[in-house]
Amino acid sequence: MTSIGFSTGALFKEQLEKGVALSAQLRLPAIELSALRLRELPALLDFVRNHDLKSFAHVSVHTPTNFTEDDEAAVASALFTSVHDRQWLVVVHPDCIVDSNAWKPFGDRLCIENMDRRKATGRTVAELEAVFERLPFARMCLDLAHARQVDTTMTEAYRIIRRFKDRIAQIHISELTSASKHERLSDSAIGSFREVAGYLPEVPVILESPVAPEDALIELERASRVFSAAMATA
């Protein structure tokens, strides 16, 4: 049975504690603590210091995506200090990585996320290979919406899964607009994701669909359709 939860930022933008509280109220097994903007990081680090989140079977942390090269070492160090003694994953965008050495201490707790078409790296098997050459112990967060935007036939998604299946430790799903903004799952996106679902490892799934709290259960049910009776087979 696939464990599905939400990114806190999808439930409440820049209100991490509310996202955690709603996820706990819904008794979700998985959660991703989101700090996509650098200004959100201090609040996330403070929250992590004071909460163990043992009610969740799976916890990940999404690093900021807008820090500069000058900020990189400090961001990585602050995150490592906060989570190194926990079995949590840390998701990072490959285009944010300039100094690989700053991220090597995370070992296999570091998850490289595949990117959307706006980015210059991390979109395809070849581009991801280059990232993993620099961080050989890192694992992967497979973003199905990003992969679908890069190649709507889902062929590149299939290639990524086949090549990096043993690295995939978490999955992101949502709909993605042409402007690369997350939105709620459409029937079309669900159908596309189901085409490759049978090839995926059974790892926690994080919804990045922005939803009102009262719609969270509806979106969870729609996400579960991706992984139930998948059209593809392993």
pLDDT tens digits, residue range 28-42? 999 999 999 999 999
Considering the domain delimited by 4-227, tell me its CATH architecture: Alpha-Beta Barrel (3.20)
- The residue with greater pLDDT, 4 or 230, is 4
- CA-CA-CA-CA dihedral for 226, 108, 167, 33, to nearest 10: 20
Chain center to CA of 84: 18
pLDDT at 21 over 50: yes
Q: What is the mean pLDDT of the chain?
A: 95
Q: How confident is the model over 114-139, as a mean pLDDT? A: 97
What are the Cα distances from residue 42, in Å, to 15, 49, 82, 181, 213? 12, 11, 11, 24, 25
Q: For residue 163, how far is the Cα from the chain centroid? A: 18
**pLDDT over 80 (residue 1):** no
What integer pLDDT is reported at residue 179 of this predicted model?
A: 84
pLDDT at 152 over 70: yes
| The pLDDT of residue 234 | 44
Give yes or no for residue 233 having a pLDDT over 80. Answer: no
- pLDDT range class, residue 230, cuts 50, 70, 90: low
Phi and psi (nearest 5°) for 116? Answer: -85, 180
As a whole-number percent, the residues of the chain with pLDDT over 70 amount to 97
The pTM score is 0.95
Query: How confident is the model over 68-117, as pLDDT tens digits?
Result: 999 999 999 999 999 988 989 999 999 999 999 999 999 999 999 999 99
Question: Given the DSSP bridges, would you call strands 168-173 and 139-143 parallel, antiparallel or unpaired?
Answer: parallel
Distance CA 158, CA 166 (A): 14
State residue 228's pLDDT score.
Answer: 86
Q: With 70 as the cut, is the pLDDT of residue 229 above it?
A: no
pLDDT at 63 over 50: yes
Q: What is the pLDDT of residues 155-198, one digit of tens each?
A: 999 999 999 999 999 999 999 988 888 999 999 999 999 999 99
Which are the contacts of 195, defined by CB distance < 8 A and separation ≥ 6? 154, 231, 232
Residue type, 131: V
Q: Compute the average pLDDT of residues 11-29.
A: 97
